[in-house]
């Protein structure tokens, strides 16, 4: 099942020229076990692409199937089922908080998808605990907590719907380094504990290199690369993708050039450090 795009293009209506924001997209996403990063310059179509995954946008042409449902659907109600299956956390999701209390805000999604009050409360509490929102905060206003906590409440609101695939549009943008790391650990935990497919849009190549298994590169609405992160960062034409290298790989390249330490790719700081220790002891 999962998500399949076949030759999908999308043009925003009302543009003076006929300009496709995404073009001829062919893409298959497994319903479980994937950790995919979508990268590319601003305006390359990342947000447009992911908004198709839960039918917020419908293809202008091509075929799109999400959990067995062809889009656009014959009946509008079919769309609700997809919104629950594929949870999409927007950019700056905290702008969409609106309830009086944190718990009510997290319960909004499940209630909307026909959970009873009791079920919604249970789901909300479970989601709050996954993102580390303490019980003592349940009755507080979502507008009185820190930016990082607001972001987590917003993520919990999506998790409470128990989606099978979690799509995150620049979830760490605007957070401080600690907030970024904490949030990424939460996503990694969800991925590992439940084998959930996670799709992450990010400009932060260090995060992409540490967490993603597969990377999709968009350029002017087209997929120009789709493969493992190992393949991407060792790609002979990597710089044609207009991406920055992750810091650990930059350091390793410097060390090879200036100190002759053999370049063996390491995708996060922890593995970089243990490699350097190993080399230092030889």
Ligand X SMILES: Nc1ncnc2c1ncn2[C@@H]1O[C@H](COP(=O)(O)OP(=O)(O)O)[C@@H](O)[C@H]1O
* Contact positions vs ligand X (CB under 6 A): 12, 15, 21, 40, 42-48
Query: Residue 196 touches which of Mg ion, ligand X, none (CB < 5 to 8 A by kind)?
Result: none
Cα–Cα dist 163/244, whole Å: 32
The residue (of 46 and 191) whose beta carbon lies closer to ligand X is: 46
Least separation, in Å, of the C-beta of 240 and ligand X? 18
Residues in contact with Mg ion, total (CB under 5 A)?
2
- Contact between 47 and Mg ion (CB under 5 A)? yes
Q: Which stretch binds Mg ion (CB under 5 A): 38-46, 172-180, 248-256, 274-282?
A: 38-46
Nearer to Mg ion among residue 46 and residue 52 (C-beta): 46
Beta carbons of 63 and 6 less than 8 angstroms apart: yes
Piece of 13-21, 43-51, 214-222, 223-231 that binds Mg ion (CB under 5 A): 43-51
Nearer to ligand X, 52 or 125 (CB): 52
Nearer to ligand X by C-beta: 39 or 153? 39
How many residues in the chain? 282
């Amino acid at each position: 099942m999962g998500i399949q795009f076949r030759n999908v293009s999308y043009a925003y209506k009302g543009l003076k020229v006929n300009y496709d924001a995404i073009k001829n997209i062919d893409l298959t996403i497994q319903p479980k076990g994937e950790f995919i990063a979508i990268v590319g310059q601003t305006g390359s179509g990342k947000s447009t692409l992911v908004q198709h995954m839960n039918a917020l946008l419908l293809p202008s042409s091509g075929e799109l199937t999400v959990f067995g449902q062809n889009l656009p659907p014959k009946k509008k109600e079919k769309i609700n089922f997809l919104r629950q299956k594929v949870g999409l956390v927007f950019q700056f999701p905290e702008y969409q908080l609106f309830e009086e209390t944190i718990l009510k805000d997290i319960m909004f999604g499940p209630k909307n998808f026909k959970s009873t009050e009791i079920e919604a409360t249970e789901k909300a509490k479970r989601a709050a605990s996954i993102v580390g929102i303490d019980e003592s905060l349940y009755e507080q206003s979502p507008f009185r907590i820190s930016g990082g906590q607001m972001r987590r409440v917003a993520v919990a609101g999506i998790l409470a719907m128990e989606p099978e695939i979690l799509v995150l549009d620049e979830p760490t943008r605007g957070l401080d380094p600690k907030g970024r790391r904490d949030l990424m650990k939460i996503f990694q935990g969800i991925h590992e504990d439940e084998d959930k497919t996670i799709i992450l849009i990010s400009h932060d190549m260090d995060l992409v290199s540490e967490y993603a298994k597969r990377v999709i590169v968009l350029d002017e609405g087209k997929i120009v690369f789709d493969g493992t992160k190992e393949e991407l960062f060792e790609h002979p034409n990597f710089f044609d993708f207009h991406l920055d290298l992750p810091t650990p790989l930059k350091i390793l390249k410097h060390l090879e050039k200036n100190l002759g330490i053999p370049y063996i790719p390491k995708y996060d700081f922890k593995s970089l450090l243990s490699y350097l220790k190993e080399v230092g002891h030889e």
